[in-house]
Structure 1
Amino acid sequence: MKQYGNVYLIAAISIIGGGLFGFDISSMSAIIAGQGYLCYFNQGPKPCSGPSANTQGGITASMAGGSWLASLFSGFLSDALGRKKTIMVGAVIWVVGCIIVCSAQNIPQLIVGRIINGLCVGICSAQVPVYIAELAPPTKRGRLIGAQQWAITWGIMIMFYISYGSSFINGPAAFRVPWALQMIPAIVLFFGMMILPESPRWLASKDRWEECEQVLVLVHGHGDPHSPWVAREFREIKEWLEIERQSKQISYLTLFTPRYINRTHIGLFTQIWSQLTGMNVMMYYITYVFTMANIQGNNLLVSSSIQYVINVVMTIPALIWIDRIGRRPTLLVGAALMATWLFINAGILGGMGVYQPEGVHNIKEAKVLVTGAASKVVIACSYLFVASYAPTWGPVSWIYPPELYPNQLRGKAVAFATSGNWAFNFALGYFVPPAFENITWKTYVVFGVFCVAMFIHVYFMFPETAGKPLEEVNEMFETPPPGGLKYIGTPAWKTKNYYSTSARMEHGELLEKRLDDEQSPERKESA
C-alpha cells in the first residue's frame, strides 16, 4: 500500500487517537445531567436522581483507571510492534469498549466498558506523541504534537453537541446514541494509519536501516535521497543509537538510574501537573459549576458548551507559536493565569455563595448557590480558565515528555509519564464530586495552590527543548556546560530555544564538533 510522508497528514490522522479522549470527556459531562441517564442509572431514594456522588466519581474515573494501566504496558507494546501498529491496536480496543458502553444494562457493565475504552486512550495518548515526535522536523515538532491536544478539544466540542442533541430523545437512547457514535473516529483512525509510515527511529532500533532511510527520504527529503537534512538525520540516529547500545538493557528501572532520573521526574510531573491544574473540574463537571452559578435546563448545557468552543479556538495560538515561543514561557504563563482565575472563583463562591444542604436544582453535588453579578464572575472566570489552559498546559503537556528521552527509552519513558496523567485523572475524577459535596468552594483553593506549585517547579527544573533535534536534547542532558550538573545539564532558567535557523545552525555545528571530539573510549564507557 502506498504511504504518504506529509507531516501534516501524519499528524492529522494519528491525533484522532487523542480525539477519542475528548469524545469521552464531553459525552460524560453532557450526559450526567440528562434525564435519560439519571433515570436509567438511578441509585437515590427519589426517581431520576442518578448515581450517588461516589458512584458517579467511580464511573467517571473508570476510564482513567484503564488508561493508567494501558499507558504503562503501551511502552512494551510500542517497542515490540512499532508505534504505528500499537496505535491501530488501540483503535480496535476503543470500538470494543464503545459496544459494551452503549449497550450497558447497569452500572457495572458501564464501568467495564469505560475501562476498556480507557485501555485505548492510555495506549494512544502515550504513543501518538512518541510517533509524531520521531517523525516531525524540530521546527514543527511542537506544533504537530500539540495538535493532539487540539484533536482532544475538537472531540470534546463535537461530542458535546452530539450529546446535547441526543438529550432531546426520550429514554435510554439519549445516552446510547452518542456513546455508539464514538466508534466512528476509531474506525477512521485504524484505516488511516495504514497509509502512514512507521517511525524511522523505531525501525533503526530494530536494525531495519534501509526502511529507516526510506522513511526519512519520504518524510524529510520529500522523495530526494540526496537531501542533506536526511543524511544528517540518518547519521545522528545511527550515532546516538550506537552510544545507547553501550548501556545495559533498557527497562522501566532504567528510568530511575542517575543518568535518567531527572528527565523521568520532569516528564512525569509535566503530565501530573496538567491534571492538577483543575481542568478536570472545568471539563467533566462543568455542569456542576454552572449549576452553582444558578444556570439550569437547556441554558446549562448551552452555557457549558461555550467553554468547549473556547478550548478549540484558544488551542490554535499554541499550534502556531509554540515552537517560536518555547515550552518554558508557555507553561509559566499558563500556571500563573490559571491560579488567578481559580482563586477568584474560590473567593466569590466562599464569600458570596449561599450553602444549599440539599443541592442546587436537583444536582446534589452542587452545594453553593451564587446569583446576580457574582454568578456572572464565576462563569467569566471559568471561561478565562479554559482560555488560559488551552494554549499552554493543554498542548505542552503532550509536546514536552517525548522530547526529553533518547530513542531506545522514549516509548517506555513517555508511557510512564503518561501513566502519571491517568493516575491523577482517575484520582481527580473520583475526588471532584465528593469534594464539591463536602468542601464546596475550597475545591478551587486546592487547585489554585497546585498551580502556584507548578509555576515554581517549572521555573527551576524544566529546561527549554524547543527547536532542538531529539538527539540534541539528549546531548543537552548528557554533556552539561561548565557549572552544570551531570545528567541535569544547564540550569533550566538558562536554557534557550533554538527555533531560528541561525541558532539551529550554530548549535548544530557545535554539536557535530563535540560528537567528533568526544567519541573516545572513555566517553563510550561512561555512556
Structure 2
Amino acid sequence: MSPQLILRGRWLHAAIWIEGLVAVTMFGYCAASAGGVLNMSSFQSQFEAIDVANAPESEKQHTSTIQGTVVAVYTLFGIVGALVGGTFLGDLLGRRKSIFLAATLQLLGAILMGTSYSLAQLIIGRVFTGLGVGAIVAAVPVWQSELSEAENRGWQIASISISSGIGLMAAQWLAFAMSFVDGSIAWRLTLSGSGLISIFVMATIFVLPESPRWLKLKGRDDEARQILEMLLEEPEDVDKSIADIEQALRISASQAGLKDLFSMGPQRNLHRMLLACGVQVMLQVDIHHDTDVGQG
C-alpha cells in the first residue's frame, strides 16, 4: 500500500508541507551555489573565460561581462520556467507531473554543471537548472495551497520562503567547506549538490495526492472527493470543500484575467503581487551571489 493511502488527515497535510519545503530549498541552493565557486582556484583554472580575478587588466571588463551573463542565465531561464512550467504545464499535466518534470530538468542541469569541462556545457547546465527551479517555485506553492486547509494555508505557504533561505545557507556552507579541498571535486560537488533535492522530490511526489482543484477542473470528480476524504476528517468538511472548489472554478472561468493582478478591490491583488515580487527581488539583490563586490 502506498503512503498516499496510509496517511490521513494532519499526517498527510504534514507530508505535503514537508515536500513543499524540501522542493523549494533548491531555489535558494541554486541561487547561491554559483557565487560560492567563482573564486575557487580549480574553477577559475577550468573556466578562464569567466575568471575575473586573474584576467589581465585590459580584459577584466569583458571577462566580468561574460561571467555576469553566465550567472544571469539561471535567473533568465528561471522566469521562463515559472511562466511555462508553473502555469501552462501545471494546468495541462497536473500539479504533480509538472513538479516531477521540473525536478527532472533541474537534476539534468545539476549533472551537466557538475560534469562540465567547457563553458558551453556549464551554460547549458545553468539553462536547465533555471528552467527546473523556476517551474518548481511556481508550481509547488500552487499545489500545496490547493491541498491545505484554509486556516493553515497562510503560514504553510509563507514557510516555503524560509526553506529557500535554508537552501541558500546550505550552499554557502558547502562552498566554504569545499574551499579547503583541492581539485575540481570542490566546485563540482557544490554545483551538483542540488541534484539530491531533485531526486528526493522525484521519488516522493507521486506518493502524495494530486490537487483536488485540478482534478475538478478536468472533470475527475470522484478522484477529487477521494483525496478530500483523505485530507479532511469530517464528511461535511468534504462537501463544503467541494462546493468551495466548484464556486472558485466558476468565478475564475468567468472573471479572472491578467488585469485582475493590478486591481485594488477587497482582495487587494496589487498589494499581494507587489509583496510577493518584492520578497523575490530582495532575495536576488543581496550579495550572496557575487563575492567580487566585496573585493571591489
TM class by shorter chain equals 0.7 to 0.9
1:232 to 240, 251, 260: 240
* C-alpha separation in 2, matches of 1:63 and 1:31: 15
Measure how far apart 1:34 and its partner are: 2.0
**Mind listing any 5+ residue stretches in structure 2 that lack a counterpart?**
none
Question: Per-residue displacement from partner, 1:206-229 (whole Å, max 9, x unpaired)?
Answer: 1211111111121122xx5x2x32
| Contact 2:37/2:190 (8 A) holds in 1 | no
2:38 to 16, 24, 32: 32
Measure how far apart 1:126 and its partner are: 0.4
Measure how far apart 1:48 and its partner are: 4.0
| Contact 1:8/1:144 (8 A) holds in 2 | no
1:280 to 279, 282, 285: 285
Partner amino acid, structure 2, of 1:116? F
Question: Per-residue displacement from partner, 1:83-118 (whole Å, max 9, x unpaired)?
Answer: 111101111111111111112222222111101101
* Runs of 4+ displaced beyond 6 Å: 44-47
Measure how far apart 1:30 and its partner are: 1.6
The yes-or-no answer on 1:72 pairing with 2:83 is yes
Say if 1:100 and 1:264 are closer, same or farther in 2 by CA, change over 3 A.
Answer: farther
Measure how far apart 1:191 and its partner are: 0.9
1:160 to 172, 182, 189: 172
1:113 to 125, 134, 137: 125
* C-alpha separation in 1, matches of 2:161 and 2:74: 18
| Contact 2:261/2:273 (8 A) holds in 1 | no
Of structures 1 and 2, the larger Rg is shown by 1
| Contact 2:115/2:188 (8 A) holds in 1 | yes
Partner amino acid, structure 2, of 1:167? S
1:255 corresponds to which residue? 258
* C-alpha separation in 2, matches of 1:240 and 1:47: 55
The yes-or-no answer on 1:174 pairing with 2:186 is yes
Measure how far apart 1:179 and its partner are: 1.8
* C-alpha separation in 2, matches of 1:244 and 1:274: 26
2:113 corresponds to which residue? 101
Measure how far apart 1:47 and its partner are: 8.0
**Mind listing any 5+ residue stretches in structure 1 that lack a counterpart?**
292-362, 367-527
* C-alpha separation in 2, matches of 1:45 and 1:82: 42
2:154 corresponds to which residue? 142
Q: Which moved more, 1:36-45 or 1:211-220?
A: 36-45
Measure how far apart 1:8 and its partner are: 1.8
Measure how far apart 1:46 and its partner are: 8.8
Say if 1:101 and 1:44 are closer, same or farther in 2 by CA, change over 3 A.
Answer: closer
2:48 corresponds to which residue? 42
* C-alpha separation in 2, matches of 1:156 and 1:45: 23
Question: Per-residue displacement from partner, 1:302-350 (whole Å, max 9, x unpaired)?
Answer: xxxxxxxxxxxxxxxxxxxxxxxxxxxxxxxxxxxxxxxxxxxxxxxxx
* C-alpha separation in 2, matches of 1:2 and 1:261: 41
Say if 1:123 and 1:54 are closer, same or farther in 2 by CA, change over 3 A.
Answer: same
Say if 1:217 and 1:65 are closer, same or farther in 2 by CA, change over 3 A.
Answer: same
Partner amino acid, structure 2, of 1:26? A
Say if 1:276 and 1:95 are closer, same or farther in 2 by CA, change over 3 A.
Answer: closer
Say if 1:282 and 1:44 are closer, same or farther in 2 by CA, change over 3 A.
Answer: closer
Measure how far apart 1:241 and its partner are: 2.5
Say if 1:45 and 1:241 are closer, same or farther in 2 by CA, change over 3 A.
Answer: closer
Partner amino acid, structure 2, of 1:25? A
| Contact 2:31/2:168 (8 A) holds in 1 | yes
Measure how far apart 1:264 and its partner are: 6.5
RMSD value, Cα:
2.5
* C-alpha separation in 2, matches of 1:284 and 1:140: 33
Say if 1:45 and 1:159 are closer, same or farther in 2 by CA, change over 3 A.
Answer: closer
Measure how far apart 1:266 and its partner are: 4.5
| Contact 1:11/1:147 (8 A) holds in 2 | no
The yes-or-no answer on 1:220 pairing with 2:232 is yes
| Contact 2:109/2:125 (8 A) holds in 1 | yes
Partner amino acid, structure 2, of 1:121? V
1:188 corresponds to which residue? 200
| Contact 1:39/1:48 (8 A) holds in 2 | no
1:23 corresponds to which residue? 29
- How do 1:233-382 and structure 2 match up within 5 A? 233-245=241-253, 247=254, 254-256=257-259, 261-262=262-263, 265-266=270-271, 268-277=273-282, 279-285=284-290, 287-288=291-292, 291=294, 363=295, 366=296
Partner amino acid, structure 1, of 2:249? L
Partner amino acid, structure 2, of 1:117? T
* C-alpha separation in 2, matches of 1:175 and 1:208: 47
2:97 corresponds to which residue? 85
- Secondary structure class of the residue paired with 1:218: helix
Identity %: 25
